[in-house]
Homo-oligomer: A and B are copies of this chain.
């Protein structure tokens, strides 16, 4: 039942279209997964997600482990039932969060000891526990535990983390007891193309049902992200899905698809929405800008989302000024709908043999946010997250 079927390969790039089959249904690729860290895409209900056209979500094992706890989710019948979402879910293993959010890490071959960013309590995560937790949560696609070395690490440290990730991948595979979940491996290797190739080649030999590229989107320049994808993709099996973890600005996704990536996840579209930044085909606008104070039209005339069909930019501007709760939902609806439409437009272009033209046109029109600004925003957010439980918006 589970598996991946390639349906179209673009003649003019690495881009491809396919279908991902899971225990909770089939989804088309390339696909973008909104992030439901704690079992909710912030500010949206499952009905909102269905209306928007979202077909699959990502949830974070680390966050769910801390709140409400794996045992609660298991008792409530698994995450699908707990959050009332009947479509596919992918869970990460907790590796990325443990290495980016949690404090005081001690890594050994056995696993990693970390401190909760909420209350400072100490916890152990091993490859076996990561699988165990993800089996209790019950996602359709689950991930191996990986070690994410920080970008400032030395080559030796990055290579060591990669080797450990490989050993952990094998242990994760052995630890699997459910056969209705697909376990994806994660390629590491920092910003070294040769390490990335080595990692891809080794993991490919272990025959996983899918492959992720991890350890990117950590603050490296976009150029590096793309180079690492270019180094990795040719060594991954062509008939297996490829997942670029944590990368999800519109411009990055277009470049990722062009390089043969099938699956993306990222908190950026929802996070920036709650900050007033809205995607359009010409780039991001910020609704808090005084220019929108008396704008009677929608934020994006090309958009068919509930927000754009119903409300003026002036109303959203007012709600933001007044810090009204409704606005976070409305801006999130818009950004996620933008992502869903972007993926559909890319699939259509691939199927029509016109992806290169789509990519050219999109890139010419879309003005990416200055990279420095983007990274500052992300750092601010990560800092806020690790301030014990203070995060609301």
Contact A38 B325 (CB under 8 A): no
Residues of B within 8 A of A72 (CB): 293-294, 314, 318
Residue ID in chain B nearest A310 by CB atoms: B84
Instruction: Give residues of chain A (284-323) contacting chain B, Cβ–Cβ below 8 Å.
Output: 293-294, 296, 306, 310-312, 314-315, 317-319, 321-323
Q: Any chain B CB within 8 A of the CB of A45? A: yes
Q: With A38-B318, A72-B318 known to touch, is A392 a contact of B45 (CB < 8 Å)?
A: no
Q: How far is the CB of A66 from chain B (nearest CB, A)?
A: 9
Collect the chain B residues with CB atoms within 8 Å of residue A83's CB: 315
Q: Which residues of B contact A174 (CB under 8 A)?
A: none
Q: How far is the CA of A44 from the CA of B82 in the complex (A)?
A: 22
Given contacts A76-B312, A294-B76, A326-B42, contact A321 B84 (CB under 8 A): no
A388 to chain B, nearest CB (A): 12
Which of A77, A317, A323 has the largest count of B CB atoms less than 10 A from its CB? A323
A110 CB–B CB distance under 8 Å: no
CB contacts (< 8 Å) of A293 on chain B: these are 68, 72
Task: Answer whether residue A330 sits at the interface, using C-beta atoms and an 8 A cutoff.
Answer: yes
Copies of this chain, complex-wide, total 2
Which residues of B lie under 8 Å from residue A311 when comparing CB positions?
84
Select which of B68, B84, B328 is within 8 A of A318 by beta carbon: B68
| Chain B proximity of A228: nearest CB distance (Å) | 33
Interface: A152 (CB within 8 A): no
Tell me which of B45, B76, B325 contacts A42 (CB under 8 A): B325
Report B-chain residues with C-beta under 8 Å of the C-beta of A330. 45
Shortest distance between the CB of A34 and any CB in chain B (Å): 13
Determine whether the beta carbon of A42 is less than 8 Å from that of B324: yes
Does A2 have its Cβ within 8 Å of any Cβ on chain B?
no
Asked if A365 lies at the interface with its beta carbon under 8 angstroms from chain B, I say: no
Q: How far is the CB of A44 from chain B (nearest CB, A)?
A: 7
Interface residue range, chain A: 35 or more
Closest chain-B Cβ to A313's Cβ sits at a distance in Å of 10
CB distance A43 to B392 under 8 Å?
A: no
List of B residues within 8 angstroms of A315 by Cβ: 39, 76, 82-84
Q: Does A391 interact with chain B (Cβ within 8 Å)?
A: yes
Q: Which residues of B contact A391 (CB under 8 A)?
A: 323
Contacts of A39 in B (CB 8 A): 315, 318
Contacts of A43 in B (CB 8 A): 325-326
Please measure, in the bound complex, the distance between the C-alpha atom of A274 and the C-alpha atom of B321, giving whole angstroms.
20
Q: How far does the Cβ of A299 sit from chain B's closest Cβ, in whole Å?
A: 14
Chain A 68-97, CB-CB to B under 8 Å as 1, else 0, gives 100010011100001110000000000000
Q: For window 254-291 of chain A, which residues contact chain B by CB distance below 8 Å?
A: 274
Alpha-carbon distance between A130 and B67 when the two chains are bound, in angstroms: 49
Asked if A384 is at the interface of the complex by the 8 Å CB criterion, the answer is no
Contact residues of A between 312 and 363, Cβ < 8 Å to B: 312, 314-315, 317-319, 321-326, 328-330
User: Nearest Cβ distance between residue A1 and chain B, in whole angstroms?
Assistant: 27
A314 contact set on B, CB distance < 8 A: 68, 72, 76, 82
Asked whether A379 is an interface residue with its Cβ less than 8 Å from the other chain, the reply is no
Docked Cα-Cα span, A393 to B39, in Å, equals: 21
Question: A224 in the interface, Cβ–Cβ < 8 Å?
Answer: no
What are 14 contact pairs spanning A and B, CB under 8 A?
A38-B318, A39-B315, A42-B325, A45-B310, A46-B310, A68-B318, A72-B293, A72-B318, A75-B294, A82-B318, A83-B315, A84-B315, A323-B392, A392-B393
A residues with CB within 8 A of B: 38-40, 42-47, 67-68, 72, 75-77, 82-84, 274, 293-294, 296, 306, 310-312, 314-315, 317-319, 321-326, 328-330, 389, 391-393
